[in-house]
Copies of this chain bind each other. A is one copy, B any other.
Amino acid sequence: MPSIAYFGPRGTFSEQAALVHAAPTDSLVPMDTVPRALAAVRAGDADLACVPVENSVEGAVSATMDALAVDDPLVAVAEVVLPVRFSVLVRPGVSAEDVRTVASHPHALAQVQGWLARHLPAATQTAATSTAGAAVGVGDGTWDAAITAPVAANHYPLDVLATDVADVDGAMTRFLVLRRPGALPERTGFDRTSLVMIASAERTGVLAELLTELALRGINLSRIESRPQKGRLGRYRFYLDFDGHVAEQRVGDALAALHRRCEHVRFLGSYPKAERASSASAAALGNSDQDYTQANRWVTAVRNGETG
């Protein structure tokens, strides 16, 4: 019965994401902050952590990324992608006309301004530390309505005034499920690999060279972000997500190249992609495992004087 730490209280988008990954018997443990959820796994107090890594509605992604790059390594075993769609919760019997105050995390409020203008134009907006914190405040009478993750309705004795609330269609938020290093998830053919690297020089063009190491092996980059290293002006960490599993020869070969050329590379996991979209064909590019095996065999033969 693994335990999964997430950014709480109960009813946040982080819990919603954890539920997508969890088995029915898993226990979900709310933590005060994202770094504390990671710390719980590092300390062995939880088996897994589910934390936001992209387009977070609540909780700062920059804090997550900084926390993944330092301290004991953690590796992702899964990703979860959720649509950014909110529910509006009120105390039982309260109707839209009764709502004088509406609360949520400031980032959630910012994403429903159009809906609020149309449906609750007279309501005063106030901030909560999380979307779920707003639901707690509605329950205790502090506010009349909360903008929350859909899962919050399962935890708090509140009515759902509206669901699927979003000003912009198609917005998504992304989470990683992380654990201490160990056996990797199986290669599925629909995998993503994440890492953080620090180039070994401030030389102009070094990032172009490092990305070329991936491109030459037919590896498709799906995300990149630079973050300055605190206290080291002009030195950056680069966070990369790309298609493929480290068990693939081309991915292992690319990681070895980055390791040779970087001051530091931290592997953040190879895990199935949420969308199950196929990676670009490796075979077509001379980058299949078989291509690597045959090519290495040929070089060995050349070295042994067996062929030209």
Residues of chain A having any CB pair with chain B under 8 Å = 33, 55, 58, 60, 62-63, 105-107, 109-110, 113, 125-130, 133, 168-172, 204-205, 207-209, 211-212, 214-216, 218-226, 228, 230-231, 233-234, 236, 238, 275, 277, 280, 285
B33 touching A113 by the CB < 8 A rule?
Answer: yes
Bound-complex Cα distance A208 to B257 (A): 15
Nearest CB in chain B to that of A219: its residue = B204
Task: Specify which of A60, A130, A223 lies most central, judged by the most chain B CB atoms within 10 Å of its CB.
Answer: A60
A and B contact pairs by CB, cutoff 8 A, 14 listed: A58-B106, A105-B106, A106-B127, A109-B129, A205-B214, A207-B211, A207-B224, A208-B208, A208-B212, A208-B214, A209-B215, A211-B211, A223-B236, A224-B225
Across-interface contacts of A109 in B (CB, < 8 A): 129
Choose among B125, B127, B207 the residue that contacts A105 (Cβ–Cβ < 8 A): B127
Interface SS of chain A: helix, strand, loop or mixed? Answer: mixed
B230 in contact with A218 (CB, 8 Å): no
Query: Given A63-B110, A231-B169 in contact, is the A133-B127 Cβ separation under 8 Å?
Result: yes
